[in-house]
């Protein structure tokens, strides 16, 4: 039997695509493998959201040159967002690569492999759009209990820094009935938790039905029998409707967690970024969410060092971070992406200034994360046990509904179970809990 080794970079969209790639290749008689020295096929599912992601891929893939010389039958395929962006530049930079396939070409991978095997000639297939959804392809999930469900692809927002609309195309929603049927089938297959995926889930349905239908979709998904937890990501602050907050507050199976990327706390930078909300309206939104949804957790993404960002702008971001008290924040240094509007902006910020701001932001957020975890002390919370952790002395790793990581004692037999735990210790990145009733 032939084997393949798949490396995935980037966001949940790519993780889901990788589960589809695995599903497709299984049907072709391939089996997954982790051992570089024996795999017949290497596949890289790449990301290009920041330059660091590009570098990581090119660095790793360059190292395959020698392996390919030793084993000429080895096939190397590169897909995902960087493949979509760079196209045959990938082949120019890495002549030992055999196949480059775009984000809209995932379904063609099995045929491309066969053709290249027969012709021994490298191929680059990049479509700019497709009427098919990768999400309709068969998936082999990594987890027995959790499934990703892409409800839409692409993005129409064109934030000035962002490459995603260029590499994922325009917003395209999958029909509601198909999604609900997919949820039912997943539950029949043992899935307990589904994460609905989209770059901007709040605009779900607009292209398909002429108006947004995310509230309806969420309500219907939440009522699928046997589904224990529903998560969704990402929400754009400008599009989050009041109905969604109400649904999250009232539907027990929907996790009380919102990922709401702030990006900047300065109104002038938000304007340059094309985000279409203000710091004040963002903070008001958080207040509304917190007043309605009990024990809600709010996470965010923030970029520092966007062109023209002054010390004052940065201090405005720090202020919002301190006021918002995010449970977690993913912080990034601005990275100019070719083809985006911001790549042409003047007044770039120097590396030293960016680093200094990044460190100060991290310090402020770490304090928030710690405070947020400390508020959990003594509480009894429901957690889902996801697996064993390698590093912690309390070996089980579990997630609260609000997506916080909890370590606790117990054996493998508990993996996949939902249990109540008392939170005994809080750290910046995780909590330590104890099973209720267990001693
Ligand atoms: N669709 C999602 C996230 C897309 S990318 C959203 O709108 O929130 C994930 C995060 O990467 C973004 O939220 C942003 O904070 C960061 N990001 C995107 N482009 C970037 C760039 N050019 N430089 C630095 N960070 C970037
Ligand atoms: Fe990128 Fe903005 Fe779309 Fe998110 S909403 S994917 S940041 S363009
Ligand atoms: Fe995701 Fe990176 Fe593409 S963040 S959509 S894999 S550019």
pLDDT at residue 317 is higher than 90: yes
Question: Which of these ranges, 139-148, 194-203, 390-399, 406-415, has the smallest mean pLDDT?
Answer: 390-399
Question: What's the whole-number average pLDDT of the chain?
Answer: 96
What residue spans define the domains of the chain?
3-125, 143-255, 259-375, 380-435
pLDDT in tens, 365-386: 999 999 999 999 999 999 999 9
Does the beta carbon of 165 lie inside 6 Å of ligand 2? yes
Atom of ligand 2 nearest to the CA of 263: 7
Length of the chain: 439
**CA distance linking residue 402 with residue 383, whole number of Å:** 9
3-state secondary structure of 60: helix
430: left (phi over 0), alpha (psi -120 to 50) or beta: beta
- Residue 439's pLDDT is 46
pLDDT in tens, 253-305: 999 999 999 999 999 999 999 999 999 999 999 999 999 999 999 999 999 99
**CA distance linking residue 62 with residue 40, whole number of Å:** 17
- Give me the phi and psi of 264, to 5 degrees please: -155, 155
- Residue 393's pLDDT is 87
244: left (phi over 0), alpha (psi -120 to 50) or beta: alpha
DSSP 50: S
CATH 3.40.1190.20 fits 143-255, yes or no: no
pLDDT at residue 436 is higher than 90: no
CATH 3.30.750.200 fits 259-375, yes or no: yes
Q: Can you tell me which residue has the tokens 């934030």?
A: 159
Alpha helices in 204-295 (DSSP H): 206-209, 214-222, 242-250, 267-273, 279-292
Q: Average pLDDT of 6-20? A: 97
Here the tokens at position 355 are 């680093």
pLDDT at residue 170 is higher than 70: yes
pLDDT at residue 363 is higher than 90: yes
Q: How far is the CA of 297 from the centre of ligand 1 (A)?
A: 20
User: For residue 125, what are the contacts with CB-CB under 8 A and spacing of at least 6?
Assistant: 99, 100, 101, 102, 105, 108, 112
- Residue 391's pLDDT is 81
pLDDT at residue 103 is higher than 90: yes
pLDDT in tens, 39-77: 999 999 999 999 999 999 999 999 999 999 999 999 999
- Residue 378's pLDDT is 97
- Residue 270's pLDDT is 98
Q: Can you tell me which residue has the tokens 């606790």?
A: 408
Q: How far is the CA of 15 from the centre of ligand 3 (A)?
A: 10
Query: Which of 14, 16, 19, 197 best tests ligand 3's pocket when mutated (most atoms within 8 Å of CB)?
Result: 14
**Burial per residue of 341-364, b for 16 or more beta-carbon CB atoms within 10 angstroms, e otherwise:** ebeeeeeebeeeebeebbebbeeb
- Residue 390's pLDDT is 81
Ligand number nearest to the C-alpha of 260: 1
Query: Which of 11, 12, 199 best tests ligand 2's pocket when mutated (most atoms within 8 Å of CB)?
Result: 199
pLDDT band at 97 (very low <50, low <70, confident <90, very high): very high
Domain at 3-125: CATH architecture: 3-Layer(aba) Sandwich (3.40)
Question: What value, to the nearest 5°, has the Cα angle with vertex 205 and ends 203 and 11?
Answer: 55
User: For residue 194, what are the contacts with CB-CB under 8 A and spacing of at least 6?
Assistant: 146, 147, 148, 149, 183, 186, 221, 227, 229, 230, 231
**How many helices (H) and strands (E) would you count in the chain?**
15, 19
Burial zone of 252 (CB within 10 Å; 0-12 exposed, 13-18 middle, 19+ buried): exposed
pLDDT band at 438 (very low <50, low <70, confident <90, very high): low
Q: How far is the CA of 27 from the centre of ligand 3 (A)?
A: 26
Question: What value, to the nearest 5°, has the Cα angle with vertex 53 and ends 91 and 17?
Answer: 75
Does the beta carbon of 269 lie inside 6 Å of ligand 1? no
pLDDT at residue 351 is higher than 60: yes
Atom of ligand 1 nearest to the CA of 333: 24
Q: How far is the CA of 400 from the centre of ligand 3 (A)?
A: 26
Secondary structure element (H or E) that encloses residue 81, with its range: helix 81-86
Matching CATH topology for 259-375 and 380-435? Answer: no
**CA distance linking residue 311 with residue 307, whole number of Å:** 12
User: Could you report how far apart the first and last alpha carbons of the chain are, in Å?
Assistant: 48
pLDDT at residue 2 is higher than 50: yes
Atom of ligand 2 nearest to the CA of 163: 1
Q: Which of 68, 9, 18, 77 is nearest to 42 (CA)?
A: 77
CATH 3.30.70 fits 380-435, yes or no: no
């Amino acid at each position: 039997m032939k084997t393949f080794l798949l490396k995935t970079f980037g966001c949940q969209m790519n993780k889901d695509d990788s589960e589809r790639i695995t599903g497709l290749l299984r049907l072709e008689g391939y089996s997954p493998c982790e051992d570089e020295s024996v795999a017949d096929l290497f596949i890289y599912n790449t990301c290009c959201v920041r330059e660091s992601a590009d570098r990581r891929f090119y660095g790793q893939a360059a190292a395959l040159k020698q392996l390919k010389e030793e084993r000429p039958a080895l096939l190397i395929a590169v897909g995902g967002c960087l493949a979509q962006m760079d196209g045959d530049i990938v082949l120019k930079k890495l002549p030992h690569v055999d196949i480059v396939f775009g984000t809209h070409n995932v379904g063609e991978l099995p045929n491309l492999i066969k053709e290249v095997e027969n012709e021994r000639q490298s191929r680059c297939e990049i479509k700019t759009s497709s009427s098919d959804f990768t999400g309709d392809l068969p998936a082999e999930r990594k987890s027995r209990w959790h499934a990703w469900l892409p409800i839409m692809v692409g993005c129409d927002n064109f934030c000035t820094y962002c490459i995603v609309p260029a590499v994922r195309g325009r917003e395209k929603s999958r029909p509601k009935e198909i999604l609900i049927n997919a949820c039912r089938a997943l539950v029949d297959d043992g899935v307990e938790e589904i994460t609905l995926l989209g770059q901007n889930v709040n605009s779900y349905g607009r292209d398909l039905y002429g108006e947004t239908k995310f509230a309806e979709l969420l309500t219907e998904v939440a009522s699928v029998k046997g589904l224990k937890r529903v998560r969704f990501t990402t929400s754009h602050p400008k599009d989050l409707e009041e109905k969604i907050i109400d649904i999250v507050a009232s539907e027990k199976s929907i996790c009380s967690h919102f990922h709401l990327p702030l990006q900047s706390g300065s109104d002038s930078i938000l304007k340059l970024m094309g985000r279409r909300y203000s710091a004040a309206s963002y903070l008001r939104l958080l207040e509304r969410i917190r007043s309605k949804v009990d024990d809600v957790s709010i996470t965010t993404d923030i970029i520092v060092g966007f062109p023209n960002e002054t010390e004052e702008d940065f201090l405005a971001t720090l202020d919002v971070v301190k006021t918002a008290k995010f449970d977690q924040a993913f912080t990034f240094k601005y990275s100019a992406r070719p083809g985006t509007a911001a790549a042409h902006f003047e007044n770039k910020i120097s590396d030293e200034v960016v680093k200094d701001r990044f460190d100060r932001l991290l310090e402020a957020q770490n304090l928030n994360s710690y405070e947020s975890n400390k508020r959990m002390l003594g509480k009894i919370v429901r957690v889902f046990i996801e697996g064993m952790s390698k590093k912690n002395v309390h070996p089980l790793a579990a997630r609260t509904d609000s997506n916080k990581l909890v370590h606790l004692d117990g054996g493998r037999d508990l993996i996949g179970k939902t249990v109540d735990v008392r939170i005994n210790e809080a750290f910046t990145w995780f909590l330590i809990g104890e099973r209720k009733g267990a001693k």
